Amino acid sequence: MQRIGFGYDVHRLVAERPLILGGVTVDYELGLLGHSDADVLVHALMDALLGAAALGDIGTHFPDTDEQYRGISSLILLEKVAQLLREHKLAINNIDVTVVAQKPKLAPYIVQMRSNLSHSLSLSQDAVSIKATTTEGLGFTGIGEGIAAYAVCLLEQKEK
């Protein structure tokens, strides 16, 4: 049986925080506000994976009220989600993520982001797609207030 998941996340851009996307520190004067490292790309992906598995969302598993997750790398949380999927006999077929940001340009970082995600999920890089787009100056992402990410995934139920 195959299961499709969809995830969405958004974080506000603020001063004095690093901008971390896909586990990569991106050179930019603003960063994302959040309890963890606020990696909006990985958060959207985790929600897609958990949703496909019908296992809730990242807030259920990693609440922002829990101090053990303050400042944690979202790649560590992604590894925990991957382990949870394995425990439920679910295999990731592929993932596709789109980051929506007017600035900065993300193309120079995408190869490393794909490598980070494929490593954290024990997937081949050809099963990991990451794209970046702008909103042509429209909306909160267009005026630089925040960054959003959308993610989809396909899981396959392994035989029990």
| pLDDT (tens digit per residue) in 103-138 | 999 999 999 999 999 999 999 999 999 999 999 999
- The overall pTM is greater than 0.85: yes
Q: What are the residue ranges spanned by the domains of the chain?
A: 2-157
- Fold (topology level) of 2-157: 60s Ribosomal Protein L30; Chain: A; (3.30.1330)
- Four-residue CA torsion sign, 51, 56, 62, 64: positive
Rounded Cα–Cα distance for residues 160 and 158 (Å): 6
Give me the percent of the chain exceeding a pLDDT of 90.
98
Rounded Cα–Cα distance for residues 154 and 49 (Å): 8
Among 2-11, 47-56, 62-71, 105-114, name the one with the lowest average pLDDT.
Answer: 62-71
Q: What residues contact 79, with CB distance under 8 A and at least 6 apart?
A: 120, 121
Radius of gyration of the chain (CA): 15
